[in-house]
Amino acid sequence: MIKYQEKEVKESLRGFYSDIISNSTFRLFQYYDQDTNLIYRIELNLNDDTAIVFNGEKIYKLSEKQFIIDDKVFNISKYYYDIANQYDEEAYVFVNLSIGLIGINYFPWGLSIFPQGENIPVELNKLLFEVDSKSFFE
């Protein structure tokens, strides 16, 4: 069991809010809908980002891309979510170690989810859709 030291609650995400618990090695992001139902949970190891835990499933990093907004560099990692013997739940999960969830592309459904918050630049979501990023996003 991991014991977290700091807890922070953000209520600026559109449609849901997040709860962030962290220490020097691990960070846990939990996202709730407006009725306080847990909808996403991401566990990050800040020392090794080759795998994360997304909604209880260990998922692995496929690639990483840097985006620059106002001279600030954002490293976004792309992970592949797929539960064995399940259908149509597959997704690409985009994460930044500091910000948490950047977006989810449920590609079988053609559905993308992008949380919006004070620490997530709006331009970042737009950059994911640019031609230069198409292969990264899809």
Percent of the chain with pLDDT over 90: 36
Closest CA to 76 of 101, 105, 51: 101
Q: What is the pLDDT of residues 18-27, one digit of tens each?
A: 778 888 899 9
Residue 131's pLDDT band, with cuts at 50, 70 and 90, is: low
Q: Looking at per-residue confidence, does 120 or 47 come out higher?
A: 47
Is the pTM above the cut of 0.85?
no
Residue 33's pLDDT band, with cuts at 50, 70 and 90, is: confident
Which region holds residue 47: left if phi is over 0, alpha if psi is between -120 and 50, else beta? alpha
User: Mean of the pLDDT values across residues 29-58?
Assistant: 88
Give the count of alpha carbons within 13 A of 97, CB side only. Answer: 18
Q: What is the pLDDT of residues 67-121, one digit of tens each?
A: 888 899 999 999 999 988 888 889 999 999 988 888 888 888 888 887 776 677 7
DSSP character at residue 107: T
pLDDT, residue 13, reads 44
pLDDT at 12 exceeding the cut of 50: no
Task: Tell me the C-alpha distance between 21 and 51, whole Å.
Answer: 18
Closest CA to 103 of 85, 81, 123, 78: 78
